[in-house]
Every structure is written in C-alpha cells, then in structure tokens.
Amino acid sequence: MVYSNNVKKVAAIHDLSGMGRVSLTVVIPILSSMGFQVCPLPTAVLSSHTQYPTFSFHDLTDEMPVIIDEWKRLGASFDAIYTGYLGSPRQIHIVSNFIDDFRKDDTLVIIDPVLGDNGKLYANFNSSMITEMRTLISKADVITPNLTEIFFLLDKPYKADNSDTELKEYLRILSEKGPEVVIITSVPVKDDPHKTSVYAYNRKGDKYWKVTCAYLPAHYPGTGDAFTSVVTGSIMQGDSLPIALDRATQFILQGIRATFGYEYDNRDGILLEKVLHNLDMPIQNSSYELI
C-alpha cells in the first residue's frame, strides 16, 4: 500500500470583489478553514459586488485561458472543480473546456448555476446564458440552483408555490440531465413565511432530502456562495449528502444570527469571521428529513 497524505486542492472559478463578502472572498476562507487548498481562477475583479450603487469592473475573460495554460504547464491537478457566477457564454465555454481538461475519475465537479433570483434573470443576462448553463450542468456531479434557477434550467415558467411532489419531480428531471446530486435552495415554506427549505436529490440510491430552518428577515449577499462552499467542503470531507445539507444550512443560519444584531451595512455580507470556527464543530441537531 502506498501511503498518501496529500492536501486536497479545489479549483474555484468565481469573481473577486474587494468590498462585500461574496464569491472568492467567501469561498477561500470557508474551504481553507475546512482543510482544503483553494486555487482561484478569477473571472473578474470588482471594487465591490454589484449590489452596491457603483462599482468598478475588470473582465478577466481573456486572462482565464492564459492562467489555465500556465496551470497545464505546471501539471496542476485538482480534487474538485467548483464554479459560481460566470459573466458570459464565453466564460461558460472556457469553464466547460477546463472541466474536460482537468477532470479525473475521482474529481468532484460542483456547479452553482447562477442565473437569477425572485423569478427573474439577473440584469446583464439573456436567454443565451440559460442555454449555455443547461449544457454546462450536464458535466457536474453536484448543482445548487435556487428556486428561480430551477425553472430557467427546466425551461418552465416560474412559480413560487410548489408542492413536495412537484419539487421532487424538478429534482429528478434535472438529475437526468447529468448531475448525480441536485440541491434547490431558497424554497419558501407554504403558509409559513418564517421558514425556508432546501431540497435535494441523490440519484445514487434514489433518495430525496429536505432541510427546513428559520427564515430571518434580512438579506445578506454571498449566503448562496457560502452555502455551496460548505456543501463542497463537507462532501470532500466524506460527509453524507443530508449531513452536508445540515452543516451548510446551520452555518448560514449561524452567520445571519451573528450578523443580525450589529449596526452594519447588510451589503457587506454575513460576518464570516464570527462563525468560521463553527465549521470544526460536529452537527448539533440534525434537521434533515427523507421525503
């Protein structure tokens, strides 16, 4: 037997914002604290994320292939490839080729198919982004769309009120398009505005899971990035899917509660610094259920 104690590497393909805890400024601290080396492939550099009234934006689409070529020369390899916000169809093509070039038999590919929220596409996106994202998710092992993005990926009209039966059908259909695991975030709980749910399907074993938690009336950018980052790290640590969901959901709730009482600009995101150490702790109360 050959003994190996290599540190696992994650190629993180996201944008970088100087102000506001989103994208790489969330991904790097979370995955690093969970014991993984994060190798960022930035898609753009912004002075602050786009929910601030003004910001500078430097597109790195042309630089991405240059970085990738250098990584190839180094013989770089990755245990996971994790993508988030992609700004154009060309960036999606670059990421698709990156997966083809760097994927090994045991590489975990996680795609957060960022397209929109609250039933609408993000302002700078059009239908071509949806078309390209549908192709990209076919290469993923795990995808983490929110409720809005589910309907874009399925080419169905958006509706906020969905039964468990309907949500399970959405999960199954999306999984048939490629990803073994599909996780839907930000699902409202019918007749209870104080709660929100996460639904998940694992094609291996044909099991559906749900985690429901309290909904706090505050919006913090970057919570989706934090959720998917914790799920990624948890799966890489060997946790089961329901435990990964529980860990990520509890972490986000802890982060919001730690931030909620401060005199604070919500656009800066949750106070990660207050809760990162919680990732080293065991799950306190499992709230997942099999549906």
Nearest one of 252, 128, 133, 255 to 196, comparing CA atoms: 252
Read off the pLDDT of each residue in 93-114 and give the average, rounded to a whole number.
Answer: 97
Tokens of 202: 């694992």
Domains of the chain in start order, with CATH, are 9-290 (3.40.1190.20)
Buried b (16+ CB within 10 A) or exposed e, 47-60: ebbbebeeeeeebb
pLDDT tens-digit readout, 154-190? 999 999 999 999 999 999 999 999 999 999 998 988 8
Largest CA distance in the chain: 58
Is pTM beyond 0.85 here?
yes
Buried b (16+ CB within 10 A) or exposed e, 143-172: bbbbbbbbbbbeeeeeeeebeeeebbebbe
Band of pLDDT at residue 4, cut at 50, 70 and 90: low
pLDDT tens-digit readout, 54-73? 999 999 999 999 999 999 99
DSSP string of 72-94, one letter each residue: HHHT---SEEEE----SHHHHHH
